[in-house]
Structure 1
Amino acid sequence: MTSPQFPGPGGGGRDGGGRVRKLDPADRAQLDESPVSLRRIGALFAPYRPQIALVVALIVASSLISLANPFLVRATIDRAIPEQDVALLVALVAGMLAVTVAASVLGVVQTWISTTVGQRIMHSLRTRVFTHLQRQSLGFFTRTRGGEIQSRLTNDIGGMQTVVTSTATSIAANVTTVVGTAAAMAVLSWRLSLLSLIVLPPAIWLTRKVAQMRREITTARQRTLADMQTQIEESLSISGVQLGKTLGAGPMMSERFADTSHLLADLEVRSQLSGRWRMATMNIVFAAIPALLYLAAGLPATSGGMTIGTLVAFTGLQAALFRPLMSLLDVGVSVTSSLALFSRIFEYLDLVVEIDDPEHPVHLPREQAVGAVRFEDVSLRYDGAHRLALDSVSIDVPAGSSLALVGETGSGKTTLASLVARLHDPSAGRVTVDGVDLRSIPLIELSELVGVVSQETYLLHATIRDNLRHARPEATDADIEAAARAAQVHELIVSLPQGYDTMVGARGHRFSGGEKQRIAIARTLLRDPRVLVLDEATSALDNETERAVQDALDHVSLGRTTITIAHRLSTIRDADQIVVLDDGRTAERGTHEELLAVGGRYATLLAKAGATVPDALVLAG
């Protein structure tokens, strides 16, 4: 779904470049798919009713005050100057200045109030969407593009900011200006007003026709610019540069970028040229209408004894009428685009939170928990899946003991482990800690009870200290160093020039896989969880690095309930119990010696891996 173009300030139906806009079919489709209640939009503004009423009053006052100028000009030309009435002339000139000053001050105050209200609404909405998305399950982020989420949080809400602070006030100002100006024109000269009714429609039609010539060029330019930004992001990121160097794709990527840049340059030239045609047409219209008014005023049949002052004042009003009238003709486009933006944001706010805090929470403070985990007849089916990922799995993991999960790829090991941290909820059965159903424990308390170290290590683009403190913001430097020592990464960190203040780089690329993994372990330990889930934490490492990380894991697992998706035979052998999963079911369980004696699935997995030495790998997938 493409992002709608946003109405620009000062013109409800024009984009940022002042171009007349057409209705975007994507906006119409968005509203057909997800209609927006005006009452719901109004609820966003409800807390600011007094400020909004004041803004409307200021807009009306400013527009009406500005209409006094043409009458002051007429009096100056027709009376003060011909009659050499100095006192009247000074008063009229002072009145013109006062009108300008008053309108300008009112405009500043109106802009300040409307922008403040708009920013507060956008802040509230942006925060609500971000917080709501944080509560979504992993499934939502699996099926949703990251760029789409970012676009709604930045582009769409940014576009709504324009709607709130500019479009609505622009419509109000334009309506007031058009109505007031038309009335003032009729008062000044009804004959010239009738002439304007004849001249304006073709002038407006011509201007809109020429302006619409830019739309296709502008659309192509924006699409090409987006392509260029994508190429920059993909090619000049760390991963992109590494891929380009290893594949020797640098020249090809440069040539591709040059082609895109050349196309963009061509489109920019065409866009500027079409813009000049638009401006030329506008200039012709602005020159032609006053010329026709002068002609009408000079002909005996149509002049009606009109004075020079009246003609000058009327011409000024006529010029001020054109732009707001053009904007009002595009109100429908502006409103549709605005509603489409609200629709896209409300779609996210209406997402059901699949894994949420309980209505009636059961508190299990970490200090009181011992960490006994039970899987009670647990089954799980992913959305849209034809078969169960887990099928009636029951496992008892006593407090302080260790459980190793092994099995072929797709057997359900990671899915089962993810239930302990409530990354998913079972479709049937339940998972408990110390006899309490995980769905009854507040999520923030559960994250303190259960720590997870996964295969994929994610480090923030920040210092090592900030990465570790991300797990516990109130942690002291001593706490951070203690966690790093437990993860056996302290010595590495202090050997760096900046120590704990060393920047890890984008996604931690400046560190090796084992170093990143140990930093991640330290980060998890900083929360001091009672239950530790190790999800293939060493599978992507070489043997030597794996041993170093595994030594750290062995050290930190002491005294904690540990659930491990294991690869090293030594880790599995030492586990208090081993569960072999097969197609989501429990195939075998027991100790290393017991399972070898049975000669079943576990023994087969070892045989497939050729496990003849203590550190041989288990085929765990």
Structure 2
Amino acid sequence: MAHGGMGGGMGGGMGGGGGRLSSDLKLAPGQRPDLRRVLGLFRPYRGTLAVVLFLIVLGAAAGVVSPFLIREIVDVALPEQRADVLAWSVGGLIAVTVVSSALGVTQAMLSTRVGQSVMHDLRVSVYSHLQRMGLGFFTRARTGEIQSRIFSDIGSMQSVVTSVMTQIVSATAGVLMALVAMFAMDWRLTLFSLIALPFAVWMNRRVGRRRREIVRTRQEKAADLSAGIQESLSVSGILLGVTMGRTEALSRTFSADSRELADLEVRSEMAGRWHMAVFTTLMALFPALTYLLGGHLLFNDPDGSGITIGTLVAFIALQSGLFPQINGLLRVATQVNSSLALFSRVFEYLDAPILIKDAPDAVALDPAEVRGEIRFEDVSFSYPGAEDPALDRIDLVVPAGKHTALVGSTGSGKTTTGYLMARLYEPSSGSITLDGHDLREVTMESLAASIGVVTQETYLLHATIAENLRFARPEASDEELVAACRIAQIHDHIESLPDGYATVVGERGYRFSGGEKQRLALARTILRDPPVLLLDEATSALDVATERAMSGALDAAARGRTTVSIAHRLSTIRHADQIVVMQRGRIVERGTYDELLARGGVFADLAHQDSRRDDGADGLAADGVVDDGVAAVDDGADEPVVQDPSGR
């Protein structure tokens, strides 16, 4: 066999449930991400940004030329009736307008491209980092919140990232150019124009702090709402809500949360609006006050050596452009201040440590040469926050090419043992080896290619059957898909469907029965042909009739491989080469089925309980009913696929 890799990820969450994001990823109150780190996002595009900066400065310089041309028209061209001066001054005004517009469009195009590139880099960085976080992270974070941070938080930063940098530079350049020109015209009027600036800066900082707090609260509430939608409007969520009679209550809860989010949106929009209104009013009054001061200076300077009418008109034109620039700069500063709350939420994910990763000198195993012997040597493991260890100093040998079964009551540690084999977690102490290689010294990719996993929590994509299978091996041919499905004993059922392998399975595969989904997951794993097969209670959720049909597929898949079964029903592991009995994180018995039964210990008690359950289930099946309420059929086949109006 040409061995492949892990066909299906371990399902189910351990050690913490689906609660809020762990508190160790939260920034302390008032803590902000380093602004230099935010600016560092633009570093790969500094060449383009340099061009944008040049265009901005050029545009700002062109902008201050107009007032001087206006002064020439007022002081020279009109009083002296100089047609030539009037002509070239008007021509200059037209040229400045055309050039400024062209520079603005070019600068906007370049800055938008840079901003969207930064957004793309940030989204990909967060997604790629989360892909490597490991199972432990996702047992503490809700899917809805993760989606909210990738789409909502990063999406809310879009306007900041795509335009704020150029707005800051443009406004700064415009302010500096205008101030230089204003000082060149009259220093007294310039100083008068800047009286309100300290007040505006103080007010801006105060408003920024308020908005940052509101924005963070708003995004957290939006994440809660997104998580609630994702949970309650999934197929499982709808089934739970309807069967528990909670649809009205869920709607009321959603309404209350939505109203709270709407109130936070209003608070965010209105934060500091009165302060800005006062400042804007003052700025609007300054041109009138400047005319008053300029007229006073002109009246007391009859010779016109200090100030002229043209100078006053040109100065007001500069001032009229300066105040909006200052106002825009302060507004952008407030926007940046508040958006730091969004950056902090995204950086929390980027800064989350990757606990399971390749060692610098990790070895890449060749799956074709892997024999499949797995050894646990003095292994202990504790889930974060748990008081008692899940595994306590266990020693275990899984022989190559043999079938080893792990059994025990709920909480005995058998599933945790499987997680450690697949390196979804790492042991707190001790070592686990595959063919003598410590798993911590093997590359994650080659380990995934060597150990295939099938779990009771089958996950299928909302895609066709063929696309679901090729998720394991995109290059697989149609013949290889059919071969894998024959081994998993699902091919005949697929062929009976109207669209065959082109049938869309529906969200999470809910258009198929439990046994059908399990066999599709098994076929997906077989398609990669791993030398080690880990079956994590792969039939525990099935009725007895379906489980018996499924067991034949499992036996066929296990042939020629090292197989580890985490068993729920002991009847499925009767022919295992080795059965390991676990209790409270320790191995208490091991041997064959008959040996352990004859010993009369823990395994014998479990077998007795299992036998009583099977006898009851067989009695129900004889009456045409099985464990999960699905009508039994003579050949043990699964319930039929649910038909939708399209006939699929």
Question: Which category describes the TM-score, using the shorter chain as reference length?
Answer: 0.7 to 0.9
Cα distance, 1:216 vs. partner? 10
For 2:269 and 2:158, locate their aligned partners in 1 and report how far apart those are by CA, in whole Å: 28
State the match for 1:599 in structure 2. Answer: 600
Asked if 1:179 corresponds to 2:180, the answer is no
Between the two structures, name the one with larger relative contact order (CA 8 Å, sep ≥ 6). Answer: 2
Structure 1, 553-562 or 308-317: larger mean CA deviation: 308-317
- For the 8 Å contact 1:400–1:559, the answer to whether it is kept is yes
Asked if 1:116 corresponds to 2:117, the answer is no
Alignment of 1:420-499 (within 5 A): 420-499=421-500
State the match for 2:101 in structure 1. Answer: 104
Structure 1, 501-510 or 183-192: larger mean CA deviation: 183-192
State the match for 2:166 in structure 1. Answer: 169
Per-residue CA shift, 1:225-279, capped at 9, x if unaligned?
7776666545443333333322333344445556667778889899999999789
Kindly provide the amino acid, as one letter, of the partner of residue 181 in structure 2. Answer: A
Instruction: For residue 52 of structure 2, give the secondary structure of its aligned residue in structure 1.
Output: helix
For 1:563 and 1:161, locate their aligned partners in 2 and report how far apart those are by CA, in whole Å: 49
Cα distance, 1:530 vs. partner? 0.9
TM-score normalised by the chain length of structure 1: 0.82
Cα distance, 1:352 vs. partner? 3.4
Instruction: For residue 574 of structure 1, give the secondary structure of its aligned residue in structure 2.
Output: coil
Cα pair distance change 1:316/1:301, threshold 3 Å: closer
State the match for 2:49 in structure 1. Answer: 52
Cα distance, 1:211 vs. partner? 11
State the match for 2:7 in structure 1. Answer: none
For 1:200 and 1:612, locate their aligned partners in 2 and report how far apart those are by CA, in whole Å: 81
Kindly provide the amino acid, as one letter, of the partner of residue 592 in structure 2. Answer: T
Per-residue CA shift, 1:87-140, capped at 9, x if unaligned?
333322221122122222223333333333344444344333322322222222
Q: How many residues align?
A: 591
Instruction: For residue 563 of structure 1, give the secondary structure of its aligned residue in structure 2.
Output: strand
Asked if 1:532 corresponds to 2:533, the answer is yes
Cα distance, 1:46 vs. partner? 4.4
State the match for 1:404 in structure 2. Answer: 405
For 2:427 and 2:211, locate their aligned partners in 1 and report how far apart those are by CA, in whole Å: 55
Instruction: For residue 452 of structure 2, give the secondary structure of its aligned residue in structure 1.
Output: strand
- For the 8 Å contact 2:171–2:329, the answer to whether it is kept is yes
Asked if 1:377 corresponds to 2:378, the answer is yes
Structure 1, 189-198 or 561-570: larger mean CA deviation: 189-198
- For the 8 Å contact 2:213–2:338, the answer to whether it is kept is no
Kindly provide the amino acid, as one letter, of the partner of residue 114 in structure 1. Answer: S
State the match for 2:92 in structure 1. Answer: 95
State the match for 1:324 in structure 2. Answer: 325
Structure 1, 403-412 or 277-286: larger mean CA deviation: 277-286
For 2:562 and 2:331, locate their aligned partners in 1 and report how far apart those are by CA, in whole Å: 65
For 1:565 and 1:348, locate their aligned partners in 2 and report how far apart those are by CA, in whole Å: 33
Cα pair distance change 1:322/1:355, threshold 3 Å: same
For 1:210 and 1:392, locate their aligned partners in 2 and report how far apart those are by CA, in whole Å: 57
For 2:225 and 2:425, locate their aligned partners in 1 and report how far apart those are by CA, in whole Å: 38
Asked if 1:73 corresponds to 2:70, the answer is yes
State the match for 1:146 in structure 2. Answer: 143
State the match for 2:523 in structure 1. Answer: 522
For 1:41 and 1:292, locate their aligned partners in 2 and report how far apart those are by CA, in whole Å: 41
Per-residue CA shift, 1:516-541, capped at 9, x if unaligned?
21111111111111111110111112
Return the match for 1:61 from 51, 58, 61: 58
Structure 1, 301-310 or 203-212: larger mean CA deviation: 203-212
Structure 1, 200-209 or 534-543: larger mean CA deviation: 200-209
Instruction: For residue 362 of structure 1, give the secondary structure of its aligned residue in structure 2.
Output: coil
Alignment of 1:232-311 (within 5 A): 232-255=229-252, 284-285=281-282, 287-299=284-296, 304=301, 305=304, 307-311=308-312
Cα distance, 1:200 vs. partner? 6.4
Instruction: For residue 30 of structure 1, give the secondary structure of its aligned residue in structure 2.
Output: coil
Cα pair distance change 1:268/1:57, threshold 3 Å: closer
Cα distance, 1:149 vs. partner? 3.4
- For the 8 Å contact 2:149–2:223, the answer to whether it is kept is no
For 2:360 and 2:218, locate their aligned partners in 1 and report how far apart those are by CA, in whole Å: 51
- For the 8 Å contact 1:66–1:103, the answer to whether it is kept is yes
For 1:440 and 1:44, locate their aligned partners in 2 and report how far apart those are by CA, in whole Å: 33
For 1:200 and 1:586, locate their aligned partners in 2 and report how far apart those are by CA, in whole Å: 75
- For the 8 Å contact 2:218–2:265, the answer to whether it is kept is yes
Cα distance, 1:554 vs. partner? 1.9
Cα distance, 1:450 vs. partner? 0.6
State the match for 1:85 in structure 2. Answer: 82
For 2:41 and 2:297, locate their aligned partners in 1 and report how far apart those are by CA, in whole Å: 58
Instruction: For residue 87 of structure 2, give the secondary structure of its aligned residue in structure 1.
Output: helix
- For the 8 Å contact 1:569–1:616, the answer to whether it is kept is no
Cα distance, 1:55 vs. partner? 2.6
For 1:129 and 1:208, locate their aligned partners in 2 and report how far apart those are by CA, in whole Å: 30
Cα pair distance change 1:601/1:303, threshold 3 Å: farther
Cα pair distance change 1:248/1:203, threshold 3 Å: same
- Tell me, which stretches of 5 or more residues in structure 1 are unaligned? 4-24
For 1:88 and 1:530, locate their aligned partners in 2 and report how far apart those are by CA, in whole Å: 89
Kindly provide the amino acid, as one letter, of the partner of residue 110 in structure 1. Answer: Q
For 1:375 and 1:63, locate their aligned partners in 2 and report how far apart those are by CA, in whole Å: 70
For 1:560 and 1:158, locate their aligned partners in 2 and report how far apart those are by CA, in whole Å: 47
For 1:333 and 1:172, locate their aligned partners in 2 and report how far apart those are by CA, in whole Å: 15
For 1:343 and 1:386, locate their aligned partners in 2 and report how far apart those are by CA, in whole Å: 32
Kindly provide the amino acid, as one letter, of the partner of residue 523 in structure 1. Answer: R
- For the 8 Å contact 1:363–1:442, the answer to whether it is kept is yes
For 2:602 and 2:562, locate their aligned partners in 1 and report how far apart those are by CA, in whole Å: 25
- For the 8 Å contact 1:211–1:278, the answer to whether it is kept is no
- For the 8 Å contact 1:578–1:592, the answer to whether it is kept is yes
Q: Percent identity?
A: 53
Cα distance, 1:67 vs. partner? 0.6
- For the 8 Å contact 1:610–1:616, the answer to whether it is kept is no
- For the 8 Å contact 1:570–1:615, the answer to whether it is kept is no
Cα pair distance change 1:502/1:281, threshold 3 Å: farther
For 1:184 and 1:479, locate their aligned partners in 2 and report how far apart those are by CA, in whole Å: 76
- For the 8 Å contact 2:145–2:223, the answer to whether it is kept is no
- For the 8 Å contact 1:137–1:423, the answer to whether it is kept is yes
- For the 8 Å contact 1:455–1:540, the answer to whether it is kept is yes
Structure 1, 598-607 or 99-108: larger mean CA deviation: 99-108
For 1:307 and 1:220, locate their aligned partners in 2 and report how far apart those are by CA, in whole Å: 55
Cα distance, 1:603 vs. partner? 0.7
- For the 8 Å contact 2:203–2:275, the answer to whether it is kept is no
Instruction: For residue 586 of structure 1, give the secondary structure of its aligned residue in structure 2.
Output: strand
- For the 8 Å contact 1:569–1:615, the answer to whether it is kept is no
- Tell me, which stretches of 5 or more residues in structure 2 are unaligned? 1-19, 619-648
- For the 8 Å contact 1:210–1:281, the answer to whether it is kept is no
Cα pair distance change 1:255/1:303, threshold 3 Å: farther
TM-score normalised by the chain length of structure 2: 0.79
Cα pair distance change 1:231/1:215, threshold 3 Å: same
Instruction: For residue 367 of structure 1, give the secondary structure of its aligned residue in structure 2.
Output: helix
- For the 8 Å contact 1:569–1:614, the answer to whether it is kept is no
For 2:214 and 2:370, locate their aligned partners in 1 and report how far apart those are by CA, in whole Å: 65
Cα distance, 1:68 vs. partner? 0.5
Per-residue CA shift, 1:198-222, capped at 9, x if unaligned?
4667789999999999999999988
Cα distance, 1:60 vs. partner? 1.8
For 1:125 and 1:257, locate their aligned partners in 2 and report how far apart those are by CA, in whole Å: 30
